[in-house]
Chain A
């Protein structure tokens, strides 16, 4: 029997997910033994034509990381969808948009203007900016992919079968996801692979240090304190999103005394991660006086960046929508 065929592809991502795959270390050899990798632009020299030539549905599973931000991403994920039995959104960006998804707070024009002209580190006297088509020196016309109006998570562009969470997914999560897929015993469509069905607190070694009532009077930003690594970070006033975030990461950040920022995303029952995070966090501010509450929560200078860090494009808010777009 032929070995299962696997493809890896990256869209709008930082490359960390690719790195994480490599971090499987010697296990990567097991993977290579068990499957045929038919496409992996980062590591192997395959061309798009190679994929196009494959019969539809012949790839067992495509692991796609990153959100869809360029027309090229859109074309590629649609191609891979056609060629694959299963499409897996790999990592936070692909699942909900991730950090590049925060760019949805700005219009395409604002982003281009800032990045190519206004950012303090930019020197661009010729006012060069990406064009869809340019005439190169030899008289040839070059085409560039379009920078789409906004970033979309994978499942708003193609049908997605499974999700692997994390920014990036840890090697353990990745390995567990691969094991599940190879076991032949496939879970329900739409399931999250490799992680827990409970939030991080369940898995966190500090959970039992919580007092009976988790209520906070003062919020501290991570640079303001040297956190006690033996006590729940939340009760030390740090905004830990462990309670609202899917467990399975092994509490890596917590073990380094850094609060959870939510990269494993929401649990199944939660409709909007950021909304849930805000309502959980606001509930435990231990004041009834409006001004005190405002003062305490005012310490959160960037609520979008904290509560929607990985999930803005997949949220109810989606981002900034211009009237023209609507």
Chain B
């Protein structure tokens, strides 16, 4: 734009908000005499319809090509005034806003003179910058209507179900051989008379009945390119070694020589190297655990369906989607050996192991027996892995362990009315619906609650017996309990390798490693990266209800994007001056969004910014050693003119 700048300065009173401390008349007179300023006017509310009219009129009458609005914060009304410019027929990015409310009148309400002087100075700087503003073009992208859901737990399943119901095509990937996540391993759920596996079964039925959903198990994310509305996805499908011809006859298991602990039963029972994770598992196909398989080929020989192929290779899958939902869930906290006697005595187990034992369909058919005997004294310790209880524990509350502990204690009470049951807790947080009643019922059922502050001491005696010693906070006394069974109510931690997913999709995380929302309150299911949504426990501990809710919420948020034909992005992004760029690649490593790439042009390497990925953070422009990288709306020359205006009288 080579034309002479013709600038209009519009100064807002904001009622008395600004006019109360800034001498508006003086500022208007001052602005009129600044270089390139054609007109300067004030109005009581610049953002109101008549105020907007004043600006439009000025643009038309004085033939303005730049506008400075001195009013409130640009986060408040930059959009409003950009639209005014557009409606008056000039490029909306030829606007510069000056915040004389927050930065002048509000902070200097006790000093009218200082507030006025500062307002003048800020306007002088804005006018200097405005002279160098350039018209910019908004960036638009077509939106692809497919979605990728990462993680097949209850959150991922409910998100997939809802999106498919709206007509979008969903690709659901699960890295384990089965869908269902952690819920599938829970017995009766705390808040409902339904078992975890039945709930997962119901959700899976809904998902499987939709022709819009493609499920890939044994599959992980390998790479993501592109950006909101148009992500190019690469997946890796690991070999399962058994195909869908499998009829679940189980002949293979009979001949497999390998025995390893069954992770789906949390080590309560063992399994073979070829196995079905659990009875109701989807897909209902056996799987070979390649790590432990000895390649003896016995199973291959006996399989009547010829369904086993031990030579199967990993497979790469490529997809294009418009949105990504991450529902990678959590992992139960695994106490280190020795913490509360865990791993030292077989009488110390986790809540998850107890869940499996109490499940009638589980490895012990619901029998709670240790060394063939029913335990008489059962001690639960809650907050294991949470609330900084031990040096290894996380600082947060895992939100579901209290209710789950009480639920399990009540189940034990029902089955074994004679047992002495103690729940040692730091605090009881039964906040979810119906949980408080469970707590009261536990009290009535003579389950004894005791409060500790210092982590209880679990002493494993040489004869195998166990004592739990702790200081009870309510009665202020040291308590000593003999225990036949100690159950550790373990909390949640971020899922294994979540950092890998996080780096590929470019999502931030909190200090403990859970993924971080764009804004905890305003945008709770969106990631800061456009087009990426977060559901379930991957953002932090939740119970099943909350996980399913957030799955549906993420689906709903994603669909507001997917129903659009195009997305528009502010063009305040970085741009490379190819004449100056030396191809040093410093900017590439600095960009947090992977938006910069080197291309070879006339044999030389130059950087190139992908406008779809750039967020306009400016990191590259600050690091570029040659000045080749500039940011639209904040170019060095524009900023320099502002600084000079501030420093020269």
Contacts and interface: CB of A to CB of B under 8 A. Distances in A.
Nearest to A216: B589
A197 B604 CA distance: 13
B588 A213 contact: yes
B584 A243 contact: yes
B623 interface: yes
Nearest to B619: A283
A243 B580 CA distance: 12
Given A198-B626, A214-B588, A270-B626, A243 B582 contact: yes
Given A208-B605, A271-B640, A284 B623 contact: yes
Nearest to A277: B625
Nearest to B590: A283
Contacts of B580: 197-198, 267-269
A242 B626 CA distance: 10
B627 A269 contact: yes
Contacts of A276: 625, 627
Contact of B582 (A198, A270, A277): A198
Interface residues on B, range: 20 to 34
Interface in A281-321: 283-284, 286
A48 to B, nearest CB: 40
Interface in A93-131: none
The interface centre, meaning the residue of B581, B584, B588, B590 with most chain A CB atoms within 10 A of its CB, is B584
Contacts of B4: none
B133 interface: no
A229 B626 CA distance: 24
Given A269-B627, A270-B627, A271-B640, A201 B584 contact: yes
Contacts, number: 82
Contacts of B423: none
B358 interface: no
Nearest to B587: A283
B622 A207 contact: no
Contact of A283 (B583, B586, B604, B640): B586
B626 A244 contact: yes
A67 B1 CA distance: 41
Contacts of B379: none
Interface string A236-278: 0000001110010000000000000000000111110000110
A212 interface: yes
B588 A212 contact: yes
A213 to B, nearest CB: 3
A197 B579 contact: yes
Interface string B549-593: 000000000000000000000000000000111111110111000
B626 A284 contact: no
A13 interface: no
Contacts of A268: 580, 627
A199 B625 contact: yes
Contacts of B589: 212-215, 284, 286
B46 interface: no
A183 interface: no
B585 A280 contact: no
A202 interface: yes
Given A269-B580, A269-B628, A271-B640, A210 B585 contact: yes
B619 A207 contact: no
A212 B625 contact: no
A33 interface: no
Contacts of B640: 271
B622 A267 contact: no
Given A202-B583, A214-B585, A269-B580, A279 B626 contact: no
A243 B589 CA distance: 14
B492 interface: no
Nearest to B579: A197
Interface string A73-89: 00000000000000000
Interface of B: 579-586, 588-590, 598, 604-605, 619, 622-628, 636, 640
15 contacts: A201-B582, A202-B583, A202-B604, A207-B583, A212-B588, A212-B598, A213-B589, A243-B582, A267-B580, A269-B636, A276-B627, A283-B586, A283-B590, A284-B590, A284-B623
Given A267-B626, A269-B636, A279-B623, 12 more contacts: A201-B584, A202-B583, A213-B588, A213-B589, A214-B589, A243-B625, A247-B582, A268-B580, A277-B625, A279-B622, A284-B586, A286-B589
Question: Which A-B residue pairs are the 7 nearest by beta carbons?
Answer: A269-B627, A213-B589, A283-B623, A244-B625, A202-B582, A201-B584, A243-B584
